[in-house]
């Protein structure tokens, strides 16, 4: 602000140079306006940023919410379907040999480190105090990556070892000659050896194949072998037991093991794309419709392990009362009870990768707890699945032909393939997710009930009270009006405990009643507001109605209320606003989840790890949305209401 004043100063000189005045005055105004707008925009960004961010976050998958650097626009990862399995393989963007950006997936990585043959450096090494050296910086020189430091007397060196307080260094040029990049697993497989060269001691590894003893220096690097996304169609699952011998197959600068597989010709080789734990699942409808429970003790003998697709589950043969045998698959067991499914109906059993099965629900079916998921995605279709049987480790394999197009890249150059996508399912999931017998939709319903009854109560009670104070005469009226004003100043903490007692005596704790019942007994603030409004309505209108024979109720309804719409709007909006946002009162009076309001529900869900961040964002947005919409359409009443008394914030 102060910077502006000099340009406004010429006002003093006004009479002398009217032209100059006009010019500098408008210039000053322009400067002031510019500063005003800059500050307004900066302030608006600060104000709006958190809400805009929350809105965007409510459309993100969970992993995009807390990231560094932040991901602003909601997007989703693109996957390739791995053959006939239920697995989706992450895709990455990478530049191929022609420098074209292609979509690939990762079939293996190998870590590398730089090793040095220090014998070859015997003459080049010196010990220097670390203070003479700059920080190390990884630099790629020739085939190797070295941690280069600058010496204070000039020249670049690489530190090879510690010598007491000092660092043993050698010039970069010499080190490059003696260095090579080798796979980390290979280096680590060599025996540890203490090596003494000149006056210095080194921690080294003996590499038999090279006939060398080398010192691993780092930095480590990682090469990833990738193949174009089409190859994903050939991926299949096998039991890791079936993996036979392997040999390394060179791909670019690196190599990957190729395996023989039991049950395939000797000369066929396969590449292992992944090894992870899988969980048998089946269609939930099928499990619930055909599955039944039997006492665990009635399951005869040891089961036969039978394969259903790739899943292996125990199969028992039950004998019915009529002597007929029935083969059943054991799905799940809860202590004394087991849930089984006739083998004929077990045709939807398959394996699912664990990452798809996060946050399952539990349903109890005749004493057996069945874990299930109702937002499970497979081949792009949403399904409900039951989670059954025990987990197995499975290897994902691709035929050797898949690596014909494979190439190696620096692991750091991979970018995940993303597509902008607003994940609106966050909202449906957030509202429908069952949390201990209630969903967020329940909380929404409760809040709507509470707000609606508050509105009803406030209108029913405030109108006659305000009318009485505005228009009618009676002894004691002025004193009572002062009392009404005084109650606005009452601090609620003092009333808290006795009010709680009252509701407890009335048996209203843990119901919605305490959240609205007091509205039926008026409100000092709203009464005052409406009374002021009534006072400004000309008496003549009322008297005309009275002459026509209207009673007090009819006067209120036909004359006063239609004329008081703005005040009634303000009252309604404030009632909605305060009750919708109210947290403390529901928190004190309600503790069963079925009666939670939205704010209480949000606070509760925040503490539940299974209700994750993206749902909280979506649920939070649905909570603030009604208020924001109300504010957009009725901004005037908000502002007038606040101006009127400036009460409450």
Partner 1 sequence: MRSSALRPPRRSRLTPLARREALVFYLCISPWLIGLLVFMIYPIFRSLYLAFTRYQIGHDPVWIGLDNFRRLLDDALFWKSLGVTVQYVIGSVPGSNLVALGVALLLAQKIRGVGVWRTIYFLPSVVSIVAVSVMWYYVFNPQYGIVNGLLEMIGIDGPGWYTSETWAMPTIILISWWMVGTQVVIYLAGLKGIPQEYYEAVEVDGGGVWSKFRHITLPLLSPVIFFNVINGFIGAFQVFDQAFILGAGSGRPNNATLTYMLNLYKQAFEYGAMGYASSLAWVLFVIIMILTMFILRSSSVWVYYEAERK
Site for partner 1 in 39-78 (CB under 8 A): 39-40, 43-44, 46-51, 53-54, 57, 65-70
Closest to partner 1 by CB, 301 vs 498, is 498
Kindly compute the dihedral angle of the four CA atoms of residues 527, 529, 535, 536, in this order, to the nearest 10 degrees: -150
- State which of positions 402-461 bind partner 1 (CB under 8 A): 460-461
Q: Which is it for the CA torsion 145, 149, 151, 157, positive or negative?
A: negative
Rounded least distance, CB 465 to partner 1, Å? 4
List Cβ neighbours of 218 (8 Å cut-off, separation of 6 or more).
113, 114, 147
Rounded least distance, CB 75 to partner 1, Å? 17
Closest to partner 1 by CB, 380 vs 607, is 607
List Cβ neighbours of 510 (8 Å cut-off, separation of 6 or more).
589, 590, 591, 592, 595
474, exposed or middle or buried, with CB in 10 Å at 0-12, 13-18, 19+?
exposed
- State which of positions 237-266 bind partner 1 (CB under 8 A): none
Rounded least distance, CB 478 to partner 1, Å? 12
Q: Contact between 631 and partner 1 (CB under 8 A)? A: yes
Closest CA to 102 of 275, 228, 266, 219: 228
Q: Residue 367: which region, alpha, beta or left (left: phi > 0; alpha: psi -120 to 50)? A: left
Q: Contact between 646 and partner 1 (CB under 8 A)? A: yes
Closest CA to 600 of 444, 487, 469: 444
- State which of positions 330-359 bind partner 1 (CB under 8 A): none
Q: Which stretch binds partner 1 (CB under 8 A): 178-186, 193-201, 373-381, 628-636?
A: 628-636
Rounded least distance, CB 490 to partner 1, Å? 7
Find the binder of partner 1 among 308, 522, 530, 533 (CB under 8 A). Answer: 522
Closest to partner 1 by CB, 13 vs 233, is 13
Find the binder of partner 1 among 205, 350, 433, 518 (CB under 8 A). Answer: 518
Rounded least distance, CB 7 to partner 1, Å? 9
How far are the Cα atoms of 167, 182, 495 from residue 220, in angstroms, in the given order?
20, 10, 67
β pairing state of 137-141 and 101-116: unpaired
Determine the Cα–Cα distance for residues 634 and 641; give it in Å rounded to an integer: 11
| CB-CB neighbours of 576 under 10 Å | 18
Rounded least distance, CB 502 to partner 1, Å? 7
Closest to partner 1 by CB, 284 vs 530, is 530
Please name the residue that has the structure tokens 């005749």: 366
Rounded least distance, CB 359 to partner 1, Å? 17
Rounded least distance, CB 45 to partner 1, Å? 9
Determine the Cα–Cα distance for residues 190 and 192; give it in Å rounded to an integer: 7
- Concatenated DSSP letters of 410-471: EGGG-EE-EEE---THHHHHHHH--SSS--HHHHHHHHHHHHHHHHHHHHHHHHHHHHHHHH
Q: Contact between 561 and partner 1 (CB under 8 A)? A: no
Q: Contact between 559 and partner 1 (CB under 8 A)? A: no
Rounded least distance, CB 435 to partner 1, Å? 15
Angle at alpha carbon of residue 229, lines to 263 and 271, rounded to 5° = 30
Q: Contact 602/593 with Cβ under 8 angstroms?
A: no
Rounded least distance, CB 500 to partner 1, Å? 8
Closest to partner 1 by CB, 278 vs 513, is 513
Angle between helices 565-581 and 635-645 (to 10 degrees): 90
Closest to partner 1 by CB, 93 vs 481, is 481
Closest to partner 1 by CB, 22 vs 152, is 22
Give the tokens for residue 23: 């010019």
Q: Contact 394/239 with Cβ under 8 angstroms?
A: yes
- State which of positions 570-589 bind partner 1 (CB under 8 A): 577, 580-581, 583-584, 587-588
Closest to partner 1 by CB, 491 vs 549, is 491
Rounded least distance, CB 189 to partner 1, Å? 37
Q: Contact 568/460 with Cβ under 8 angstroms?
A: no
Rounded least distance, CB 427 to partner 1, Å? 14
- Concatenated DSSP letters of 585-647: HHHHH--SGGG--HHHHHHHHHT-TTS-HHHHHHHHHHHHHHHHHHHHHSHHHHHHHHHHH--
Closest to partner 1 by CB, 34 vs 277, is 34
Closest to partner 1 by CB, 83 vs 641, is 641
Q: Contact 122/197 with Cβ under 8 angstroms?
A: yes
Closest to partner 1 by CB, 79 vs 471, is 471
Closest to partner 1 by CB, 53 vs 264, is 53
Q: Contact between 18 and partner 1 (CB under 8 A)? A: no
Rounded least distance, CB 556 to partner 1, Å? 9
Determine the Cα–Cα distance for residues 458 and 517; give it in Å rounded to an integer: 10
Q: Which stretch binds partner 1 (CB under 8 A): 74-82, 143-151, 295-303, 624-632?
A: 624-632
Instruction: Give the contact letters, 583-622, x = binds to partner 1 (CB under 8 A), - = no.
Output: xx--xx---------xxx-xx--xx-----x--xx--xx-
- State which of positions 156-215 bind partner 1 (CB under 8 A): none
Closest to partner 1 by CB, 31 vs 260, is 31
Q: Contact between 642 and partner 1 (CB under 8 A)? A: yes
Rounded least distance, CB 595 to partner 1, Å? 16
Rounded least distance, CB 580 to partner 1, Å? 7
- State which of positions 472-511 bind partner 1 (CB under 8 A): 472-477, 480, 483-484, 487, 490-502, 504
| CB-CB neighbours of 563 under 10 Å | 17
Determine the Cα–Cα distance for residues 413 and 178; give it in Å rounded to an integer: 28
Q: Contact between 37 and partner 1 (CB under 8 A)? A: yes
Please, how many CA atoms are within 13 Å of residue 90, restricted to the half-sphere of its CB?
14
Alpha helices (H) in 278-360, listed in sequence order: 284-290
Closest CA to 196 of 115, 122, 116: 122
- State which of positions 524-553 bind partner 1 (CB under 8 A): 524, 527, 552
**Residues in binding contact with partner 1, number by CB under 8 A:** 104
């Amino acid at each position: 602000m102060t910077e502006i004043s000099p340009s406004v100063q010429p006002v003093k000189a006004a009479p002398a140079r009217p032209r100059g005045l006009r010019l500098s005055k408008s210039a000053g105004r322009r400067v002031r306006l510019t500063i005003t707008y800059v500050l307004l925009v900066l302030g608006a960004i600060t104000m709006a940023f958190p809400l805009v961010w929350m809105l965007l976050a409510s459309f993100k998958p969970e992993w995009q919410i807390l990231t560094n650097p932040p991901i602003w626009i909601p997007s989703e990862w693109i996957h390739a379907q791995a053959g006939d399995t239920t697995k989706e393989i992450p895709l990455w963007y990478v530049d191929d040999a022609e420098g074209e950006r292609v979509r690939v997936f990762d079939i293996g990585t190998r870590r590398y480190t730089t090793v040095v043959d220090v014998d070859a450096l015997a003459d080049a090494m010196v010990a220097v105090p670390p203070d003479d050296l700059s920080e190390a910086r990884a630099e790629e020189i020739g085939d190797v990556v070295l941690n280069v430091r600058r010496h204070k007397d000039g020249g670049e060196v690489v530190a090879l070892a510690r010598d007491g307080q000092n660092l043993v260094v050698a010039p970069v040029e010499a080190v490059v000659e003696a260095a090579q990049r080798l796979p980390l697993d290979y280096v680590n497989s060599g025996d540890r050896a203490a090596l003494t060269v000149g006056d210095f001691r080194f921690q080294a590894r003996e590499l038999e194949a090279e006939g060398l003893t080398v010192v691993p220096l780092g930095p480590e690097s990682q090469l990833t072998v990738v193949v174009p996304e089409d190859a994903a169609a050939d991926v299949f699952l096998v039991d890791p037991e079936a993996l036979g011998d392997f040999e390394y197959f060179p791909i670019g600068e690196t190599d990957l093991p190729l395996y023989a597989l039991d049950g395939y010709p000797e000369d066929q080789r396969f590449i292992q794309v992944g090894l992870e734990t899988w969980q048998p699942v089946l269609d939930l409808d099928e499990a619930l419709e055909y599955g039944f429970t039997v006492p665990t003790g009635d399951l005869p003998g040891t089961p036969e392990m039978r394969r259903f697709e790739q899943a292996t589950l125990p199969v028992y043969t039950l004998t019915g009362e009529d002597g007929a045998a029935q083969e059943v698959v054991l799905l799940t067991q809860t202590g004394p009870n087991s849930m089984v499914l006739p083998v004929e109906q077990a045709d939807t059993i398959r394996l699912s990768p664990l990452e798809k099965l996060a946050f399952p629900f539990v349903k109890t079916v005749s004493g057996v707890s069945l874990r299930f998921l109702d937002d499970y995605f497979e081949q792009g279709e949403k399904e409900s699945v039951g989670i059954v049987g025990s987990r197995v480790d499975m290897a994902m394999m691709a035929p050797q032909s898949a690596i014909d197009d494979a190439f190696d890249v620096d692991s750091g150059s991979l970018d995940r393939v993303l597509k902008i996508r607003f994940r609106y399912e966050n909202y449906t999931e957030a509202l429908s997710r069952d949390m201990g017998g209630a969903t967020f939709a329940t909380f929404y319903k409760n809040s709507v009930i509470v707000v609606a009854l508050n509105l009803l109560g406030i209108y029913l009670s405030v109108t006659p009270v305000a009318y009485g104070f505005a228009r009618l005469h009676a002894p004691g009226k002025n004193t009572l009006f002062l009392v009404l004003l005084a109650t606005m100043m009452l601090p609620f903490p003092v009333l808290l405990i006795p009010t709680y007692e009252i509701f407890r005596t009335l048996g209203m704790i843990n119901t919605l009643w305490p959240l609205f019942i007091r509205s039926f007994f008026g409100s000092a603030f709203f009464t005052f507001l409406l009374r002021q409004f009534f006072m400004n309505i000309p008496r003549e209108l009322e008297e005309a109605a009275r002459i026509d024979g209207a009673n007090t109720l009819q006067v209120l309804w036909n004359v006063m209320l239609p004329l008081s719409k703005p005040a009634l709007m303000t009252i309604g909006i404030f009632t909605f606003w305060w009750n919708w946002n109210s947290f403390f009162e529901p928190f004190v009076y309600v503790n069963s989840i079925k009666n939670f309001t939205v704010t209480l529900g949000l606070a509760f869900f925040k503490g539940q790890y299974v209700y994750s961040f993206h749902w909280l964002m979506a649920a939070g947005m649905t909570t603030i949305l009604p208020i924001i919409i109300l504010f957009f359409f009725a901004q005037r009443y908000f502002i007038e209401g606040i101006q009127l008394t400036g009460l409450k914030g």
